[in-house]
Structures are given as C-alpha cells and as structure tokens.
Amino acid sequence: MRTRPLLLALLLVALPACTEDKKPPYDPDAPLKEARARLAVLAQATANGAYDAQYRFLQLPSNTAGVIRIRQSPPQYRIDIVSKDGASFFALKSGIVSCSSKASKKTCFLVARPGEEVPALFDPGVQRLFRDAVEDLAANPNGYIVRRVDPVPTATPVSATPTPTPTKTPSKKPVSPTPSLLPIPVGECFEVTRTIETPDPQQPSGFENGTYCFAEQGVATSINVKSGTMTLVKLLGPPPAAAFKPPAKVQKLPELTPTPTPSKKK
C-alpha cells in the first residue's frame, strides 16, 4: 500500500490552515488610544512651532469680542491685544514683561522673573490655553478622554497689509523682514475632557474641557471652551527676533507702600 504520499498530501493541505495568522482581538479602546496619540503629536508640534498668528476671540459669558496677535518662537512668545490702547505681554528668557501704550506713550514693566507667578493685574490669561494647556496635552495625553470630531470650517482670512510703493530715495534705516502671509490650514479637531478635575492643585495646567483643533504646521486653528473661543484668522511665518524686543525700556514695578493701620484709641 502506498499511504505515505497520501498522508503527506493531507499534511500539506492542513498546514496553511494551522499556520494562518489569526486576527488580533478587537480592542474597544483603540479609537481612544489613536486619538490620544495623534493629539499628542499635533500638540507637541504646536508647542514647538514658530509662528505669527492672529485670532478672533470671544470671551464668555461677557460676549466680549476682539482680536489678539500671538507670536511664538519657543521658549519665547508675545501676545498683543489689538485695540485703540494696545497692550502686550512678553514671555522672555529674562522674565515676563507687560507693556501698554496710550497715544504715543509706551511703558513696560518686568512683572515676574523666571519661575514666578504673574500678578493678576498683568495676566492676560489666554496664554494658559495656547501654551500651558497645549504643553500638557502633548506631555500627558493619557490624562484626558479624547475623541475625534469634525474639523471646524476655516475662518475668512484677514487681508494682508498692502506693500508700500518704494520711493526713489532708499531709506537709510534698515527694515526688518516681514513674515509672508500663509494660507490658513485646516486643523484636526478633538473633543478633550480631563479624566480628573484637578490632577495637581499646586500646578494648574490652564486646561479647560472643550474642542481643540491643531494643524500639522504647528499652530492651533481653533479652541472652543467654556470661557470662550479662539479662531485663527491670519497666519504668518516665523517672527523675527526683533518681535520679542519690548517697545520701551523695561522698568521694575514700583514697590507698593503698605497702608499704615490706624492705631486704636485707648
């Protein structure tokens, strides 16, 4: 009897079925893990990004609206509130500088040294969203419940400032290069909720539950939280070093003399 070839044939037929790769078991947390990983990548790119951007903001519940300009070149950044009487906030290597301008008068004060808290009077607050919260999302994505949501439509871009017609006599004063206007990118959006209310009361991250949108170019395109919204309306290239030079001599804050307590009459 010639049974050996038949047995060999049966083994060869059965072998692929035994060695066929099995599909990995379904992981119900796979969408969460993927969203966390992608959010961390985009948040890290935004934390490290160098850009000059304008945002339209709406503060809630007061419904105060306006435009802010944010220039970032890590570790430095600058916030300008676009208004009649401008105000600027500089986070520099030397500390935090707050500047204000009324008419032609400009004043700047060093309001906090590196590592110190910024006094409430000089704290614009918005940096906690676009800096502190973004850095925390990049570093600790597992501390948040993250879900992908539909992208927010891009805002109508602000027109670029027209280039002045050159005069016949060239200016002797050197002109700083102006960053070029860039198209507003479409961001990837995530609904983000912190897993616990306050992970460390001594080190607030500035994070608020809400929708965060980031572009691969390293810039936030939209942030929508309980305290308000920020929408990117203008994007320029990396800011020059001169953008982080305060417009006036930086002064120390005057020390406040405590009001004497009136003595009690005996």
pLDDT digits over 6-65, tens only? 544 544 455 555 555 677 787 888 999 999 999 999 999 999 999 999 999 998 888 888
Taking the C-alpha atoms of residue 161 and residue 181, their distance in angstroms, rounded to an integer, is 9
Predicted confidence at residue 178, as pLDDT, reads: 57
Q: Taking the model in full, what pTM does it have?
A: 0.76
Predicted confidence at residue 168, as pLDDT, reads: 44
Domain ranges of the chain: 50-154+180-252
Q: String of b and e for 37-56 (b: at least 16 CB within 10 Å)? A: ebbbebbbbbbebbbbbbbb
Least confident of 9-23, 75-89, 135-149, 181-195: 9-23
Q: In the chain, at which residue ranges do the beta strands (DSSP E only) sit?
A: 51-59, 64-73, 76-82, 87-92, 95-102, 105-112, 144-149, 181-182, 188-194, 210-215, 219-225, 228-236, 250-252
Q: What is the CATH number of domain 50-154+180-252?
A: 2.50.20
